A = this chain, B = another copy of it.
Amino acid sequence: MEEDHSRREGNGFEIEDDDKEHSVSMLREPFLVRNIKNNIILHRLPLLVPIPALLKALIMSLFPRLAFPAFCSPMAFRIADNELFKQDWRSRKKVEIYQYVVLKWTLALLIGLGTGLVGFFNNLAVENIAGFKLLLTNNLMLENKYYQAFATYAGCNVVLAIAAAALCAYVAPAAAGSGIPEVKAYLNGVDAPSILAPATLFVKIFGSIFGVAAGFVVGKEGPMVHTGACIASLLGQGGSRKYHLTWKWLRYFKNDRDRRDLVTCGSAAGVAAAFRAPVGGVLFALEEDASWWRSALLWRTFFTTAVVAVVLRGLIDFCRSGKCGLFGQGGLIMFDVNSRKAFYSTPDLLAVVFLGVIGGIFGSLYNYCVVKILLVIVISLLTSCCSYGLPWLSKCIPCPPHLAEKCPTEGRSGNFKNFQCPPNHYNDLASLVFNTNDDAIRNLFTSGSEKEFHLSTLMVFFFAIYCLGIVTYGIAVPSGLFIPVILAGASYGRLTGTMLGPLSNLDAGPCALLGAASFLGGTMRMTVSLCVILLELTNDLLMLPLMMLVLLISKTVADCFNKGIYDQMVRMKGFPYMEAHAEPYMRHLVASDVVSGPLVSFSGIEKVGNLLHALKVTGHNGFPVIDEPPCSDAPELCGLVLRSHLLVLLRGKKFTKQRVKMGSGIMKSFKAHDFAKAGSGKGVKLEDLEITEEEMEMYVDLHPITNTSPYTVVDTMSLAKAAVLFRELGLRHLCVVPKTPGRPPIVGILTRHDFTPDHILGLYPHIKPHK
């Protein structure tokens, strides 16, 4: 165990002690978490098919450490109520409670401000970089220098892609990918290391900018959610102790519960910033992210997203005056779709049902592919080739006669791309592919312009985007899933709308919106929050009933095949996620069936040597404390003590020669915030302790730091019931006590790992998980 520890330290990540407490999962079953680190490189590179050695070398230098450090430690969302904390709470003055409340709201304000600013900066940068790139290429093409144009285009993309990937690989590997599964797991109680570290934040912001600007089929909303969560977590930690940026007031937030609330606010702010959808952000956090929810949190989250909305509105107004370079309408997506119809006929509804069913199937297929394929190829070059090569497949279309915009657009980034076409003609495929993702979506959603895109154009675009989207998710840059899915869905919807044109009266623009909704429903499997996000994006409430219908259908269809994409990602990353429902087979087991392994417990007043030994040989994070005959009449469960508190207590060296109670003495020499939850990997470590041989023989009183009322269940309680209790109360340890008298006062301790299917099915292989 020790060697393992040092090896991990050598890896350069900050890793907390993992928490395989009182479980035998490590011994019997190669546990997923522990496996993933070694497997993931192989897993991600299965298809490194014969490509030139040069490229191979390039890739290997770019993605050397894709291994995601998935050693994670669970958190407890209950504040341990030991004697010391209770005393601290009692002595807390009224003014301190006000401080807490003021600080809570100030932090919510700051999270909103920070996320709003980052969101705007993100968009500004993407619009300017991508706009410059497209403008350059376009100008070269207007001069008929097609090869130079391609070289410029591909060159820009490769440079940006390398920048994004290098940031991820060398600075913060945790920043790769969407980020939503990580935030989701964090809010479920799994604290994977460096998920919310400053370096991750930095890489997430810039990696996302470079990735999106490089023209990858990735979005920015997943990274924005992660960014919001990082900002919230850093604000709550009060800056970094490494850089001497701490703030004394923030001690109130040094516990898992308050930090979780902040991270929830942050993730809502991220969605709000990505889509300018404040209500949608709150609902997203509620529906997808958070595992626990209090209605007080709704109110605070709403405040945060309101701040984001106000910041964004202000900054966009500022940009309207043209001071923001190439930042035009775009960026912060707000599409205007008008259905201009209040009634729908039966064929319309049938068309919608069709959209929903197919959307659900394609969506679940997308999930299947994303999870299975995850391969790294030269996505950047491929994307460049596609977006430069595809438009040649399309014919030129004469410009529509009456148009406010100039057609074809020249000298600026516009929508009617001339590409290789003669004057007064435009290439419809180029206006989709050779553009930023946001603008492509806007073009697809335009209504009243059935003829703008040919059927063949839409078909080519749909297949290109669908495949590119799946392939791109595997690369190690911060990448959101919403935009690729919306893009594929919108082109599919528009395709269907154009094809069904003779049958149904639905306009092609709303059809594209419904197609996007059906794909989103099929991949993400959210309902209310997606609906609100799309409404806020399109500003058209009359579409609501159709949108609800299509979401319901596509989710139902897709649910027949597999789970939502984020659930799959969480599982694939190996987080020990607690599901809201207990598995059916848990009903046949009782709590004591899964408790196993030797139980390590302490006396109320324990020898220092014993404590140190136990801390050294086990990785447990919580130990039961049992009062024995000199202290009590019979062995009696006193409570639970945490490893981190034990370490702080031992560092304080308040030892006695004899086995005597000295509670008040200890209380005076410690303060409650000594025991506060430290930042990730920053707590006292076992190696930091310097205990002499003489001290080893002395005693220390554990009572003041023992949580005397831990949650308990009797050993005959059904495991399903215990799992629900564990999950709903957000526990970290659950004590199992004997029902029949006359046995030792504690049977074992249940932790998160004991409820994982891997553990249970490892113990009872004959149980069929899905019957």
Choice from B545, B555, B712, B739 contacting A309 with Cβ under 8 Å: B545
Q: Which of A608-644 contact B (CB under 8 A)?
A: 632-637
Pick from A306, A317, A590, A745 the residue with the most CB of B within 10 Å.
A306
Asked if A716 and B712 make an inter-chain contact with CB atoms under 8 angstroms apart, the answer reads no
Q: Which of B293, B634, B713 contacts A712 (CB 8 A)?
A: B713
CB distance from A113 to the nearest CB of B (A): 15
Interface range for A: 35 or more
Q: Please report whether the interface of chain A is mostly helix, strand, loop or mixed according to DSSP.
A: helix
A531 close to chain B: CB less than 8 A: yes
Stoichiometry, copies per complex = 2
- Provide the bound-state CA to CA distance between A528 and B306, in Å: 10
Query: Which of A185-193, A296-304, A433-441 sits within the interface?
Result: A296-304
Interface residues of A in 709-747 (CB under 8 A from B): 709, 711-714, 716-718, 721, 724-725, 728-729, 739-742, 745
- Given A306-B552, A729-B725, the answer on whether A742 and B634 have CB atoms closer than 8 Å is yes
A723 → B minimal CB distance (Å): 12
CA distance A600 to B756 in the complex (A): 40
A343 surroundings in chain B (CB, below 8 A): 317
**Stretch of A363-371, A534-542, A656-664 contacting B (4+ beta carbons < 8 Å):** A534-542
- Chain A positions 83-132 with a Cβ under 8 Å from a chain B Cβ: 86, 89
Q: Among the listed B309, B544, B712, B717, which residue makes an inter-chain contact with A544, where contact means beta carbons less than 8 Å apart?
A: B309
Distance A279 CA – B531 CA, assembled complex (angstroms): 8
Bound state CA distance, A293 and B294, in angstroms?
10
The answer to the question of A199 belonging to the interface, with a C-beta cut-off of 8 Å to chain B, is: no
Q: Are B302 and A527 in contact (CB under 8 A)?
A: yes
A653 within 8 A of B: no
Give the chain B neighbours of A11 by CB distance below 8 A. Answer: none
A714 touches B712 (CB 8 A): yes
| A532-563 interface bits toward B, Cβ cutoff 8 Å, 1 = contact, 0 = none | 10011001011011001100100100000000
A487 within 8 A of B: no
Would you call A279 and B636 a contact (CB within 8 A)?
no
Q: Is the CB of B536 within 8 A of A302?
A: no
- Interface presence of A580 (CB below 8 A): yes
* A587 contacts chain B at the CB level, 8 A cutoff: yes
Q: How far is the CB of A93 from chain B (nearest CB, A)?
A: 12
A714 touches B718 (CB 8 A): no
Query: Is B535 touching A740 in the complex (CB atoms < 8 A)?
Result: no
A714 to B309 CA separation, bound complex (whole angstroms): 48
List chain B residues, Cβ under 8 A from A303.
552
Q: Is the CB of A712 within 8 A of B709?
A: no
Cβ-defined contact, A306 with B725, below 8 A: no
A356 in the interface (beta carbon within 8 A): no
Tell me, yes or no, whether A282 is within 8 Å of chain B by CB.
yes
A527 to B304, CA, bound (A): 13
Contact B718 A279 (CB under 8 A): no
Given A287-B295, A298-B528, A306-B549, check contact A740 B636 (CB 8 Å): yes
Chain B residues with CB under 8 Å of A636's CB are 739-741
Chain B residues with CB under 8 Å of A309's CB are 544-545, 548
Alpha-carbon distance A545/B742, docked complex (angstroms): 64
Least CB distance, A420 to chain B, in whole angstroms: 38
Partner of A708, one of B86, B296, B713, B716: B716
Give complex CA distance A532, B531 in Å.
12
* Interface residue? A278 (CB, 8 A): yes
User: Does the CB pair A633–B742 fall under 8 Å?
Assistant: yes
Inter-chain CA distance A528–B313, complex, in Å, is: 19
Within 8 A of B (CB), among A557-601: 580, 587, 590
Chain B CB within 8 A of A250 CB: no
Name the B residues within 8 Å of A712 (CB-CB): 712-714
Minimum CB–CB distance from A699 to chain B (whole Å) comes to 23
Measured CB to CB, the closest approach of chain B to A42, in angstroms, equals 35
Complex Cα distance A728/B729, Å?
7
Q: How far is the CB of A396 from chain B (nearest CB, A)?
A: 36
Check A294–B580 contact: CB distance below 8 A: yes
Tell me which of B81, B580, B633 contacts A740 (CB under 8 A).
B633
The contact sample of 5 A-B pairs, CB cut-off 8 A, is A278-B548, A279-B528, A298-B527, A302-B528, A633-B741
Residues of A within 8 A of B (CB): 81, 86, 89, 278-279, 282-283, 286-287, 293-296, 298-299, 302-303, 306, 309-310, 313, 317, 342-343, 527-528, 531-532, 535-536, 539, 541-542, 544-545, 548-549, 552, 555, 580, 587, 590, 632-637, 708-709, 711-714, 716-718, 721, 724-725, 728-729, 739-742, 745
